[in-house]
């Protein structure tokens, strides 16, 4: 379990704290969404859980490991996928990039090769081992970034607005690969996003505003309340509004599902 307890953090150059007194919890096997507008502190929270930043006050404990005491172990336990695929990829060739993490922790070559194979299978990029990363599409690059984190075999996965830079068509495939990983390994997922439809995938949603926890609860309690939605600056996609309209008209649909899922729900019933 990830246990963030009363955490505050301020960047040295800022006068305002980036986070004040934030507590959240993530169980293995669940998806937790962290939503909020730009500058609300959601990326900072991700970096704190990963152990890239250390809290000024409060504690963060991941499966019994305190990020302050056991930093290296926490970093192995928690994987973090960043926004921009162009600035996470350090190697020229796909397989080298995916092997980068396992190589850094000194795994034996056979084990590294096994992990590279499995991670590439998980993101459906088998057969592209020898391709050049920089000539691939943004969506494919982000999948490489995901694979390179999965190859570390983390227990938890943090995704910091993972779809912000990729083409619209690549959004759901990426997220469904993450969900498959969760189902397969029983790992926990923290999805940082400002998109309503993505937050909808979570079992629990935390809303951040100006570094404070503004809302917490099930998607229904947080995402479906207009006032909260507006305060958190959530991007309500048109698909979502349509889903709501159809639901109101009595159709058996879940607002927030992608269009294809809406169509299927209508057609099958």
Partner 1 sequence: MRSASSQRSFNRIGAGVLGSSPRFLSYQAGESPLHRLDARTKLIGTVVIVADALAAAVPRGMIVMYALGLLVGLSAVHLLPALWRTLRPLLVLVVLFGILITVITPGKPLAHVWILVPSRDGLDLAIRLGLQSLLIIYTTSLLTLTTPPLAVAHGLEWALGFLEKVHFPIRDVISMVAIGLTFVPLLIEETRKVILAQRARGADLGMNALLDENAMAALLIPLLLANLRRGEELAESMESRLYGSGERTSMRERRFGRLDALAAAILLCFTVINLLVSFFL
Partner 2 sequence: MAVLEHTGNRSLYVDTGEVVSVLGAPGSGKTRLALELAFLVRPEEGAVLFRGKNPMTKGKRLQERPREVTLLVQNAEDQLFARTVFDDVAFGPRHLMLDEDEIEQRVNMALETVGLDPAEVHDRSPFALSGGERRRVALAGVLAMEPDVLILDEPTANLDPRTRNEFLSLLAPLRGRSAIVWLTSSAREAALADRIYLLMDGRTREVASGSELLADWHVLADAGIELPAVYELARSLKGLGGALPAESDAERLKSEIIQSYRGRRAR
Residues 249, 244: Cα–Cα separation, whole Å: 9
Q: What minimum distance in Å lies between the beta carbon of 200 and partner 1?
A: 24
Contact stretch for partner 2 (CB under 8 A) within 46-54, 80-88, 111-119, 240-248: 240-248
* Binding at 15: pick from partner 2, partner 1, none (beta carbon under 5-8 Å per type): none
Helix (H, G, I), strand (E, B) or coil at 65: strand
* Binding at 156: pick from partner 2, partner 1, none (beta carbon under 5-8 Å per type): none
* Binding at 237: pick from partner 2, partner 1, none (beta carbon under 5-8 Å per type): partner 2
Using the structure block, give the residue that is written with the tokens 């939605």.
229
Q: What minimum distance in Å lies between the beta carbon of 223 and partner 1?
A: 28
Looking at 14, 15, 38, 127, which residue binds partner 2 (CB under 8 A)?
38
Residues 262, 49: Cα–Cα separation, whole Å: 35
Nearest residue (CB) to partner 1, 148 versus 200: 148
Q: Does 47 bind partner 1 (CB under 8 A)?
A: yes
- Angle, helix 238-248 to helix 259-268, in steps of 10 degrees: 20
- Count residues contacting partner 2 (CB under 8 A)? 26
Q: Where are the beta strands (DSSP E) in the chain?
A: 2-9, 19-26, 31-35, 57-62, 65-66, 78-81, 156-160, 188-193, 204-209, 212-217
180: how many CB neighbours lie within 10 A of its CB?
A: 13
Looking at 170, 211, 219, 243, which residue binds partner 1 (CB under 8 A)?
170
Q: Does 93 bind partner 2 (CB under 8 A)?
A: no
- DSSP states along 164-195: TTS-GGGHHHHHHHHHHHHHHH--EEEEEESB
Distances (CA, A) of 263 to 242, 250, 267: 12, 14, 6
Site for partner 1 in 88-127 (CB under 8 A): 88-93, 95-96, 99-109, 112-113, 116
Q: Does 242 bind partner 2 (CB under 8 A)?
A: yes
Joined tokens for residue 16: 């305002």
Question: 179, 126, 187: which is closest to 152 by C-alpha?
Answer: 187
Residues engaged in binding partner 1 (CB under 8 A)? 47, 50, 52, 72, 75-76, 79-80, 82, 84, 86-93, 95-96, 99-109, 112-113, 116, 129-132, 134-135, 137-140, 145, 148-149, 152, 165, 167, 169-170
């Amino acid at each position: 379990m990830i246990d963030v307890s009363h955490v505050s953090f301020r960047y040295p150059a800022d006068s305002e704290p980036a986070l004040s007194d934030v507590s959240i919890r993530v169980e293995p096997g669940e998806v937790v969404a962290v939503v909020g507008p730009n500058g609300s502190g959601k990326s900072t929270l991700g970096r704190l859980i990963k152990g890239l930043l250390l809290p000024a006050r409060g504690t963060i404990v991941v499966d019994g490991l305190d990020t302050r005491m056991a930093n290296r172990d926490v970093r192995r336990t928690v994987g973090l996928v960043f926004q921009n695929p162009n600035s996470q990829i350090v190697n020229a060739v796909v397989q080298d990039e995916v092997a980068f993490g396992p190589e850094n922790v000194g795994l034996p070559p056979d084990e590294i090769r096994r992990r590279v194979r499995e991670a590439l299978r998980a993101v459906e990029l088998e057969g592209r081992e020898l391709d050049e990363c920089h000539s691939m599409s943004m969506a494919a690059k982000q999948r490489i970034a995901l694979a390179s984190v999965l190859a570390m075999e983390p227990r938890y996965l943090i995704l910091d607005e993972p779809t912000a830079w990729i083409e619209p068509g690549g959004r759901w495939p990426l997220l469904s690969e993450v969900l498959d990983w969760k189902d397969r390994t029983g790992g926990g997922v923290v999805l940082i996003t400002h998109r309503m439809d993505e937050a909808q995938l979570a079992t629990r949603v935390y809303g951040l505003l100006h570094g404070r926890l503004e809302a917490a609860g099930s998607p229904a309690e947080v995402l479906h309340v207009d006032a909260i939605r507006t305060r958190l600056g959530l991007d309500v996609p048109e698909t979502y509004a349509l889903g709501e309209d159809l639901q109101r008209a009595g159709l058996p649909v879940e607002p927030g599902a992608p269009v294809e899922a809406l169509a299927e729900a209508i057609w099958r019933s």
